């Protein structure tokens, strides 16, 4: 892979990953409630979901999923329902799945991993992104596998770095002795962001 091509892929992926979204909100909330280090299991879940999508895209299976309205719609609406659930519990519940409460009982590493995986895997935009972007950077005159491996490793590294930053940002907020009304505002803002993400996801179609 030419250096110029790789740099374009790197910058494009960084912009997409670092842009705040549902996964970023969820990981920040995990960091605030469970601490930055424990929230890294949630980060691992997000990264694992993207690895699955990356492999599907690299093997061409993603194209089949996108072409199947039933499969694509299933992934999309499961994601929408989960985001609405997370958003609603963040706004209305004092013990919701995404609610930022430093005094809450910490979740297990397995639970954090599963939540991170689900919230990212249920986002069809990740599937569309990988399916659309990978072919654009592949040089078919050179061995394909090393190029895919390079982009895959790069994507995982960016995922882990980005979401780890969100995890420790949430941890930092919790440790700062934030007043109750500020925590409530953060929860409602996070919940609103998740509901908005669900609304936007509902409008995603395989044709886009």
Q: Split the chain (208 residues) into runs of 10 and give each run's mean pLDDT.
A: 82 73 82 87 92 78 62 69 72 56 71 90 70 69 80 88 88 70 67 71 58
- Domain span at residue 112? 3-7+21-202
Where does 35-143 have alpha helices with state H? 36-59, 61-67, 69-92, 109-121, 124-137
Overall size of the chain counted in residues: 208
What percent of the chain lies above the pLDDT cut of 70? 63
Q: Is residue 13 part of a domain?
A: no
Residue 162 falls within a domain, yes or no? yes
Q: Is residue 208 part of a domain?
A: no
H or E, element range at 14: helix 3-18
**Count of structural domains, the chain:** 1
**What pLDDT score does 208 carry?**
45
In a domain, 71, yes or no: yes
The model's pLDDT over 34-53, given as tens digits with 9 standing for 90+, comes to 888 899 999 999 999 888 88
pLDDT at 97: 46
Does residue 160 form part of some domain?
Answer: yes
Helix, strand or coil, per DSSP, at residue 149: helix
Q: Within a domain: residue 190?
A: yes
Instruction: Assess if residue 182 is contained within a domain.
Output: yes
CA distances from 86 to 23, 63, 83, 134 (A): 11, 29, 5, 31
How many whole angstroms separate alpha carbon 197 and alpha carbon 193?
6
In a domain, 15, yes or no: no
Q: Is the pTM of this model over 0.85?
A: no
Inter-residue contact 62 to 163 (CB < 8 Å): no
How far, in Å, CA of 83 to CA of 13, rounded?
23
* CA nearest to 116, candidates 16, 184, 29: 29
Report the pLDDT value the prediction gives residue 164, as an integer from 0 to 100.
Answer: 92
Instruction: Give the model confidence (pLDDT) of 82-94 as tens digits.
Output: 667 767 776 776 5
């Amino acid at each position: 892979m030419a250096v110029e091509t790789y740099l374009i892929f790197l910058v494009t992926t960084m912009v997409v990953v670092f842009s705040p979204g549902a996964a970023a909100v969820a990981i920040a909330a995990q960091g605030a409630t469970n601490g930055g280090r424990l929230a890294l299991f949630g980060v691992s879940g997000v990264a694992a979901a993207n690895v699955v999508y990356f492999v599907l895209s690299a093997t061409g299976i993603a194209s089949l999923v996108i072409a199947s309205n039933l499969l694509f719609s299933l992934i999309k609406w499961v994601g929408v329902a989960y985001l609405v659930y997370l958003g609603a519990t963040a706004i209305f519940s004092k013990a919701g799945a995404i609610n930022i409460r430093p005094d809450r009982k910490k979740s297990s590493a397995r639970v954090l991993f599963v939540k991170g995986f689900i919230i990212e895997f249920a986002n069809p935009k990740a599937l569309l992104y990988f399916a659309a972007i990978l072919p654009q950077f592949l040089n078919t005159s050179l061995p394909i596998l090393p190029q895919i491996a390079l982009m895959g490793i790069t994507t995982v590294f960016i995922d882990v770095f980005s979401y780890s930053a969100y995890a420790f940002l949430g941890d930092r907020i919790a440790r700062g002795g934030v007043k109750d009304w500020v925590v409530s505002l953060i929860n409602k803002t996070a919940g609103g962001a998740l509901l908005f993400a669900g609304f936007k996801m509902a409008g995603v179609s395989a044709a886009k």
